[in-house]
């Protein structure tokens, strides 16, 4: 029997500086809900598309290497989150307006187009456009 999963509740992203990360994610359309709260502590953000992000505020370094993506030895763990967008071209234009550089682009089997960016703590976000 499969688990009766109905969707994602949230994605936790470890960050160093709440103000820096909050500004980044708010520029992409997330709204600040609450925080920092709890023993970690955590800040909660919500997107109108139904995507929740928990910014986990316990990174020791403001400019640490992303050990899952930026070192030759490969460690287990989540490497990125992928988010569907209506238009890659519009997404690229908006990212350029915001001064957020692309860290990569790809086209996947089936015609899915993608762009990649890094948040201020070098966490990877992938934006995907499904073919029409």
What DSSP state is assigned to residue 92? H
Q: Which residue has the tokens 């989540």?
A: 78
What is the residue-level pLDDT of the chain in tens, covering all 132 positions?
888 888 889 999 999 999 999 999 999 999 999 999 999 899 999 999 999 999 999 887 777 777 766 778 877 778 899 999 999 999 999 999 999 999 999 999 999 999 999 999 999 999 999 998
In the chain, the domains with their CATH numbers are 1-62 (3.30.720), 65-132 (3.10.180.10)
Q: What pLDDT shows up at residue 60?
A: 77
* pTM flag (> 0.95): no
Q: What pLDDT shows up at residue 132?
A: 82
Q: What pLDDT shows up at residue 72?
A: 80
Query: Considering Cα of 14, then 20, then 23, then 24, what sign does the dihedral take?
Result: negative
Distances in Å between the Cα of 32 and the Cα atoms of 12, 22, 24, 71 are: 14, 7, 11, 32
Could you tell me which of 117, 110, 114 has the C-alpha nearest to residue 128? 114
């Amino acid at each position: 029997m499969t688990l009766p999963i109905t969707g994602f509740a949230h994605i936790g992203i470890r960050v160093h500086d709440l103000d820096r990360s909050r500004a980044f994610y708010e520029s992409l359309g997330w709204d600040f809900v609450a925080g920092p709260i709890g023993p970690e502590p955590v800040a909660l953000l919500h997107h109108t598309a139904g995507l929740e992000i928990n910014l986990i505020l316990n990174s020791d370094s403001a400019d640490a290497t992303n050990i899952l993506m930026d070192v030759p030895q490969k460690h287990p763990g989540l490497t990125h989150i992928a988010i569907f967008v209506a238009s890659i071209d519009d997404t690229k234009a908006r990212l350029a307006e915001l001064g957020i550089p692309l860290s990569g682009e790809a086209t996947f089997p089936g015609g899915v187009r993608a762009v990649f960016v890094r948040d201020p703590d070098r966490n990877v976000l992938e934006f995907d456009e499904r073919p029409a």
